[in-house]
Structure 1
Amino acid sequence: MIKTIVLNNRPTGRPTVLDFKSITEDIELTPKDGELLLETNYVSVDPYLRGRMNDAKSYIPAFELNKPIQSGVVAKVIASKNINFTVGDVVCGMLSWKTKQISTGEGLLKVDGSKAPLSSYLGVLGLTGLTAYLGLNQIGKPVAGETIVVSGAAGAVGSVVGQIAKILGLHVIGIAGTDEKVDMLKTKFGFDAGINYKTSKNINQEIAKAAPNGVDIYFDNVGGPISDAVLFNINNFARIIVCGAISVYNNTELPNSISVQPFLVRNSALMQGFIVSNYADKFPEAIQHLSGWLAEGKLTYTETIVDGFDNIPNAFIDLFDGKNKGKMVVKI
C-alpha cells in the first residue's frame, strides 16, 4: 500500500486540510534500469510551500492540482538498479509526499545518520542551514561588534541565523511570538535579547532599547508590522535580508505597509531578497562551516517532530500559527 498526498484545491487565504487529499493505492513499485525505490523516513514542511500552491508566476513552478506535493525528504533506498546507490543508503532531496516512490537518483544526496540525526539534513544541515548561513554572509556581510535583529527567530532559519551571528561576534536580538520562545532564544541559542511581538505594547521602542547602538543587519523572515518597526531603528549602511514574509502569505488583499524607500535612502541602506539556490556554488563552503560548528558544539538546533504521514498537511498548516519551535519535520 502506497499513500500519496496531492494538492486538492488552491487555498484562498490560510490553507485548510480540505486543500489536500490523501490517496491510497495497492500497487507494487519496481525500479527499472537506472532507477531506485525509496521509502520515506522524514518530510520537511516549510512556509515557502504556500506560494507554490498559488497558480502564479514565481521563482519555482506552482504545484499542479491533483498531483503530489513536493518538499525536502529523507528516504531509504529499498531497491536499486542505479549503480550510484545501494540498498540501505539514506538520501535527501526534493521528493513527493509519498510513502514510497521511484527515483532516477537525480538531485539526491547521500546522508549519514551516524554523523547527525537524519532529520537534521532537512534542517540545520540542509536547506534551512544553507539559507541562514548564505543569506547572512552573502547579503548581510556581518562584522564583529555589529547588531543584528532576526524576526521569526525561534523558527528553523531564524534560530540558526542568530547562532551564526553570535559565532561571528555580533550582538543578536530575536523576535518571536511567545515568552517561552523568547526564553529559548536566550538560553538555548545564546541570543543577547528577545522580544515577544504578541505582548509588546510598542515593538519599535523595544527594538530601540535592545539595540541602543541601532540595527546594522536585519534578517527578515516575516514581513509586515514587525519589519516596519525594525526600519525605524536601522543604522547608516544597514543591510536588510529579505528571506521570507510568512505574515502576509495568506493575505487575500494587498497588505497595508509603510513605504520603505525613505528609510533606505536616508540610511543608505541595502534591502535584498534572495533564494538560497542563488548561491548553489557556495553550498560546499556553507555545509563545511555548519557541520564543523555542529560537531564543535557551537551550533545547536531544535525540532518540532510530528508523527505520521497523514499528519503532513496539519503540520504544514501549524506553521502559520507558530506552533513549531525550530524546524517542523514529519516522521513517517
Structure 2
Amino acid sequence: MAGSGEEAATAAVVQNKKVVLRRHVTGFPTEDDMEITVGTTEQRVPAGLTAVLIKNLYLSCDPWMRGRMSKHDDGANPVSASDFVIGEAMVNYGVGKVIDSTHPEFIAGDLVWGMSGWEEYTLVTQPESLHKINHADLPLSYYTGILGMPGLTAYAGFTQVARPNKGDFVFVSAASGAVGQVVGQLAKIAGCYVVGSAGSDEKVSLLKTKFGYDDAFNYKSEIDLSAALKRCLPDGIDIYFDNVGGTTLDAALLHMRHGGRVAVCGMISQYNLEERDGLRNLFCIIPKSIRVEGFNVSRFFHLYARFEEEMAGYIKDRKVAVVEDVVEGIESAPAALIGLFSGKNVGKQLVAIARA
C-alpha cells in the first residue's frame, strides 16, 4: 500500500524516460515520428488516487500500435482504440514491478503485466487492467508474448474462432511472429497439418525446425502465392489464421475447403497504406460455406487464467518453443517498432528496459 506520514512526504523523485509521438503519421511511420523525452516521477501514488505505480521491465512491440499513430475521425480507427496523444507517452502492453499501490489487490513487489506506458515508470489509474504474474519461474519477458496478449490472441483465435478439428489443414501467415509461432504450435498439439508463410528463408527454416510446422514458404520469393499454397496444401485449407490480409488473404480464399474457417487476426500488409488493397476472391465464401470472422483479443480476457496455466504447462513440458527478438534500452523502442513493418524481427519483438 502507499506510504503515509513522513515516509510519504519524502518519497523519492526519479528520472522517467518516455517514448512520445511527435506527430500523427500518414503512410509508413519512421523513427523520427517518435522521440525520447525525459521527465521525473515520484515513487508513490498521489494521495487520494486509487492506482498502481509500475516500474516497467519489458515493453512489447506490436503491429496494432500503428493504428493509434494516425489521426482518425471518431470511430474510424481500425484497431478500435483511441489515437495516441502527441507529446504523451505511447501505450502498449508491458511487464512491470509494482513500486507503490493504493489498490487492495496489489502490493509493492508484485510482478504484473498489462497496458502500460512506453516509459520507465507508469502510474496505472485502471489497475483492473493489470494481471499478476503467476509463473515468475519462467522468463518474465514471456508475458509480453507467449504468456501475454499475443499468446492469448493466438489461443483464443485458434481455439474459439477457428475451432480446430483433428486432421484439419491449417495455414498461418506471418507464422514466425509473436502470434503466428503460437498458433502453429497449438495446431500441432491439436493434431492438425500446419503450413506457414514468412518473409525470409531464415524464418522459414525456423518454422520447420523450431516450431514444428509441416511445411512453410517465403512469400517474398514466391511469384504466385496461389501456386505456393497449392504446392504446400494440395488438398486445400480448413483453417486460415490471417495475420496479414491483402493478397495473401485473397489467395487463401481460393484454396479454402468446404466449411473452412478464416480467423482474421491482423492485416499488417495494409496498416501503412492510404488506399488499402481490395479482395477479388470473396465469391468463394458462398459456394464453399466459408466462415470469415474477425476478432479482437479484448473479447477473450475472461479466458486468461485458463490460458496462462495451459500455456505455462506446455512451455514447462517443452511442448512449445519460444523465440524472442529483444533489444536493450528504451531508446531502442522506436526502431524496434518500425522494424516490424519490414519484417526485421525474428520472433516476438520486445524491449528490455530494466531488471526486476
TM range (shorter): over 0.9
Contact 1:223 1:245 in 2 (8 A): yes
Out of 216, 222, 234, the position equivalent to 1:212 is: 234
Which segment is superposed worse, 163-172 or 24-33?
24-33
Query: Is 1:303 matched with 2:324?
Result: yes
Aligned partner (choices 17, 24, 28) of residue 3 of structure 1: 17
Task: State the SS of the aligned residue for 2:220.
Answer: coil
What secondary structure is seen at the aligned counterpart in 2 of 1:155? coil
Return 268-277 or 30-39, whichever deviates more: 30-39
**Correspondence for 2:199:** 177
After superposition, residues 240-255 of structure 1 pair within 5 angstroms as 240-255=262-277
The answer to whether the 8 A contact 2:92-2:118 is kept is yes
* Counterpart amino acid of residue 226 in structure 2: N
User: Does the 8 Å contact 1:204/1:230 carry over to 2?
Assistant: yes
* Structure 2 unaligned blocks of 5 or more: 1-14
Q: Match of 1:184, as an amino acid?
A: L
Answer yes or no: is 1:136 the counterpart of 2:158.
yes
Gaps of at least 5 residues in structure 1 are: none
CA contact (8 A) 1:38 1:78 kept: yes
What one-letter code is carried by the residue in structure 2 that aligns with 1:301? V
Aligned equivalents of 2:266, 2:65: Cα separation in 1: 11
Paired residue type of 1:141? R
**Hey, what does 1:42 align to over in structure 2?**
58
Query: Does structure 1 conserve the Cα–Cα contact (< 8 Å) formed by 2:44 and 2:99?
Result: no
Alignment match, 1:30: 44
Relative to structure 1, the CA distance from residue 27 to residue 60 in structure 2 (aligned partners, 3 Å threshold; closer, same or farther) is closer
Name whichever of 117-126 and 20-29 sits farther off. Answer: 20-29
Structure 2 residue corresponding to 1:287, chosen from 297, 308, 311: 308
CA pair 261-225 structure 1, distance change in 2 beyond 3 A: closer
Asked if 2 retains the 8 angstrom alpha-carbon contact of 1:17 and 1:314, the reply is yes
Taking structure 1 as reference, are residues 254 and 86 closer, same or farther at Cα in structure 2, changes over 3 Å only? closer
Identity %: 39
Report how far residue 29 of structure 1 moved.
4.2
Quote how far apart the aligned CAs of 1:63 are: 1.5
Pair 148,201 (structure 1): closer, same or farther in 2 beyond 3 Å: same
2:95 alignment partner, one of 74, 79, 84: 74
Of 279-288 and 298-307, deviating more is 279-288
Deviations 1:165-208 (A, max 9, x none): 00000000000011110010000000000011111122211211
Q: CA deviation at 1:291?
A: 1.7
1:82 deviates by 4.2
So what's the TM-score if we normalise by structure 2? 0.89
Q: Return the TM-score normalized by structure 1.
A: 0.95
What displacement does 1:115 show? 2.3
Q: How far off is 1:112 after superposition?
A: 4.7
- Tell me the residue number matched to 2:146: 124
Partner of 2:32: 18
Tell me the distance in 2 between the aligned counterparts of 1:259 and 1:206: 18
Q: Is the 8 A contact 1:221 1:243 kept in 2?
A: yes
From 218, 237, 242, the equivalent of 1:196 is 218
CA drift at 1:88: 2.2
Kindly tell me the number of residue pairs found equivalent between the two proteins.
331
- 2:343 alignment partner, one of 322, 325, 329: 322
Cα RMSD after superposing both structures: 1.6
Which residue does 1:277 correspond to in 2?
A: 298
- Rounded Cα–Cα distance in structure 2 between residues aligned with 1:291 and 1:196: 30
Query: Following the alignment from structure 1 to structure 2, what is the Cα–Cα distance between the partners of residues 254 and 291?
Result: 38
